[in-house]
Structure 1
């Protein structure tokens, strides 16, 4: 989206609540790059609606299209510390994401708090032991971000609580 012109002044939109933000990111830890949106479409989110890590969203506040920056988050500000007591037994029929399971695979399980990502530790005929820690728990993470676009959210996006369009939620 082109910047707005007002009385011959260029107005650049900053990231604030109810702004739709499109960005690329590269995520790294001490061992190197873990993932990057540059291999696919950029991400799109509605700022101020708890759709990402709070410290990451706070770092994006006030940025504009074209801004690039890095932020490093300690485990407590990212996906939490690893908990050794986070192994649970679940019925295999509740695991989503594959037909056959092996240790180390990532699955999704529906819980009372919504979908949760788990890692298979041990699998039997009917039950599996799963690690409920997030796969990135316990890691210090560095996000390299490039803000591509910032625009005002539509009334529908605000009502739905998420951005619409490529990289956002599709209806």
Structure 2
């Protein structure tokens, strides 16, 4: 066990992503802490940089611009899809759907608009294009 986060650490922490207006988007503070393995590509590089050097018990707040967080919003990832290609249970906009790519991989898209003829699906990460605040509390490091 170590007391400082390194690039290959296994870190147990609470975290919260907030929008600039303070709205919490996701948080573990009211639930079970998360355990993240750094250095494997599973964690945002900016998050790994923020955690580096922190100690057990430390609490910090970081502001991440879109290019360091979830990337810019890319208009080319917003597509019009024929309504017939939607599952029948999708009746409202703001529904998150999973789609299959030709290679068999799966990806999510948020239905932004839905008419009888088509739906507008945004395949950007929901936080793309947004500056986010990241709050962390380091609980354990190994």
The TM-score, its normalising length taken from structure 1, stands at 0.68
Kept in 2: contact 1:66–1:146 (CA 8 A): yes
How many matched pairs? Answer: 137
What residue number does 2:86 align with? 92
Which among 16, 38, 51 is matched to residue 60 of structure 1?
51
Q: 1:17 to 1:70 in 2, by over 3 A?
A: same
- Cα deviation code 1:32-71 (max 9, x no counterpart): 1223111221111111111121111111122221111111
Deviation of 1:107 after TM superposition, in Å, equals 2.2
Deviation of 1:14 after TM superposition, in Å, equals 2.1
Distance across 1 between alignment mates of 2:104 and 2:4 = 33
1:77 is the counterpart of 2:68: yes
Deviation of 1:15 after TM superposition, in Å, equals 1.9
What residue number does 2:138 align with? 147
- Structure possessing the higher radius of gyration over alpha carbons: 1
Deviation of 1:101 after TM superposition, in Å, equals 4.0
Q: CA RMSD in A?
A: 2.5
Q: 1:66 to 1:113 in 2, by over 3 A?
A: farther
The TM-score, its normalising length taken from structure 2, stands at 0.80
Which among 12, 15, 24 is matched to residue 25 of structure 1?
15
Distance across 2 between alignment mates of 1:72 and 1:114 = 32
Partner SS state of residue 127, structure 2: coil
RCO greater where, 1 or 2, for CA within 8 Å and sep 6 or more? 2
Which residues of structure 2 form unaligned runs of 5+? none
Deviation of 1:127 after TM superposition, in Å, equals 6.0
